Amino acid sequence: MSVRVVIGAQFGDEAKGKISDELAATARYVVRTSGGPNAGHTIHPPGGKVVLHQLSAGVLRPETVGISGPGMVIEPFKLRTEIEELERQGFLRGSFYLSDRAHVILPLHEIQDGWEDDLRARKNPGAGLGTTRRGIGPAYADRTARFGLRLGELARPDLVAERLGLLYETKRHLPDLPSMEKLKGRLLEVGQYLAPHIRAVEPILWTAIERGEGIVLEGAQSALLDLDFGTYPYVTSSHPTSAGALIGSGLPPQVIDEVIGVAKGYATRVGTGPFPTEVQGEAGERLQRLGGEFGATTGRPRRCGWLDLVLLRYAARLNGFTSLALTKVDVLAGLTEVPICVEYRLADGSRLYDRPPTAAEEFQSVTPVYETLPGWPEFTDRLRERLAHEGAPALPRELRGFIEYVAHASGIPVQFVAYGPDRGATVRLDRRAGGRSLRSGLVPWSH
């Protein structure tokens, strides 16, 4: 078997959960490696729709184990609600483990998250980050500052009291902090509830590799929101890249067999930050409506735009994609033409092909250059039936041209094409078909 990494190649919400769920069918473990309840995977198994927030897609299959990994920050009270809701719906079909090294998000962190974003907006109305206010950034900051509390430590009342005492000292400036004693009691109680699932997960994964069992490392957020390589400061607080997946799971780099980049046939972004291909008016509203572009966790509407090959090339190089998964191509069906951004023009007349400007302010001002490809027909019931029985050969000719164009322009072969939310609405392509070397498929390195 293999170790496969699923990475978002855009600004998030690319239907990574759908691809993780597909891969989970042949995996023993599915590991979420970063983030917390600021992101969700919407998955459509037989029998209904599931939204996962802090559990991985592995919990939806009876032969698969879901792992919430050491790179995550976990809000234990929301996690308990998620577990109980999945049990009530009958969707908690696999077992799951929670890393004892994952850090705990506290109510203090949520308060701090909102206070800090309000502070930015007061100082500069355009500087708000559009954070989810779920406490993700402050929890990661306390982890780095070594004030954090880990899941495995919830079984130690003395340590919980000591860490809370320190944290309250550092957050005296925040309003409306809850009672420390009440919070301690709640943490110890939820810790007892979660205790049967909390364990050291790295040895489990190392043993799985020795046995040849399949592992999927599941991304949350996406490469363009990476703390270091994303559109800083409009980024998340972790590393949702292939390198981050290693840190967030405890696996060494040499065990990775595939890195699958997931991109929609168009693009979306939640919150503020640069988005060169954003489209306003009727076209953007159409993408939002047909794509159901509202956050799985927050419900916030997503900004919509066209596929950006500059950023796709950048994400491919940053993560070492071995293949791509193109999702939601059915949303573009029925258009006469489908625009694709092929390069940026900068204010000084120069051009960028395979990376964005580092500074967000400069990134905001680039001019995207588009090419247009022929659109493809609607996905009728008949076409969906053909795709279910025939697979890739039933894809419309114009859509095959779009897929080949993306593979050629990015240098990365397309392995999956998803044309709907249901579990079966995905076709797999031969990765050798249309695959090109990086030298021939990508423009020369920019200097």
Give, in order, the Cα–Cα distances in Å from 15 to each of 263, 287, 419. Answer: 8, 15, 11
- Give catalytic residue positions: 13, 41
Amino acid at 110: E
In the beta sheet, which residues pair with residue 123?
none
Residue 45 and residue 60 in contact, taking contact as beta carbons nearer than 8 Å: yes
φ and ψ of 128, to 5 deg:
-60, 140
Q: For 387-391, which contacts have Cβ atoms below 8 Å and span 24 or more sequence positions? A: 387/419, 387/425, 387/427, 388/424, 391/427, 391/428
Query: 3-state class of 203 per DSSP?
Result: helix
d(CA 197, CA 69): 12
d(CA 322, CA 334): 30
Other Cβ atoms within 10 Å of 427 Cβ, number: 18
In the beta sheet, which residues pair with residue 135?
none
Does the N-terminal peptide bond of residue 45 adopt cis geometry, omega within 30 degrees of 0? no
φ and ψ of 194, to 5 deg:
-85, -15
d(CA 256, CA 254): 6
Largest interatomic CA distance in the chain: 65
d(CA 72, CA 56): 11
Rounded to 10°, the helix 136-145/107-123 angle is: 110
**Among 264, 210, 208, 220, residue whose Cα is nearest residue 245:** 220
Place of tokens 């930050």: 273
Place of tokens 């997931």: 262
d(CA 188, CA 157): 7
